[in-house]
């Protein structure tokens, strides 16, 4: 004869077993996801590293200088190109006051 407490005990055990089964596979799934994310991070880091190396290869001073001269008609800064801000202001004042005319 199966009594009420025994019945509920069996029910409880089945419930625990199913729950543990669910938890186990939930965690396994998450661990696989985590491993995949870690792998993605590694690959992305590797990609970033390659891109960083490429960027630094492309912005080599000799290349930038060559491009600036050839494509932008630029030239290296000379001392004559450097002005103090006060000198610029006083020159502007002279121009504004028409003193140069």
Tell me the C-alpha to C-alpha distance, in Å, between residue 92 and each of 1, 3, 67, 72, 89: 109, 104, 33, 28, 5
Q: Which is closer to another protein, CB of 65 or CB of 92?
A: 65
Q: Which is closer to another protein, CB of 59 or CB of 90?
A: 59
Binding interface with another protein (CB under 8 A): 6, 9-10, 13-14, 16-18, 20-21, 23-24, 27-28, 31-32, 34-36, 38-39, 41-42, 46, 49-50, 52-54, 56-57, 59-62, 65, 76-82, 84
The least distance separating another protein from the CB of residue 77, rounded to whole angstroms, comes to 4
Query: CA 68, CA 8: separation in Å to the nearest integer?
Result: 83
């Amino acid at each position: 004869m199966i009594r009420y407490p025994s019945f509920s005990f069996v029910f409880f055990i089945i419930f625990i077993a199913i729950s543990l089964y669910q938890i186990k596979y939930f965690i396994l799934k998450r661990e696989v996801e985590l491993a995949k994310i870690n792998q993605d991070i590694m690959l992305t880091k590797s990609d970033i590293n390659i891109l960083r190396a490429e960027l630094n290869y492309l912005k080599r001073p000799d290349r930038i200088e060559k491009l600036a001269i050839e494509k932008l008609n630029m030239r290296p800064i000379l001392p004559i190109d450097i002005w103090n801000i006060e000198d610029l202001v006083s020159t502007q004042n002279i121009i504004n006051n028409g003193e140069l005319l």
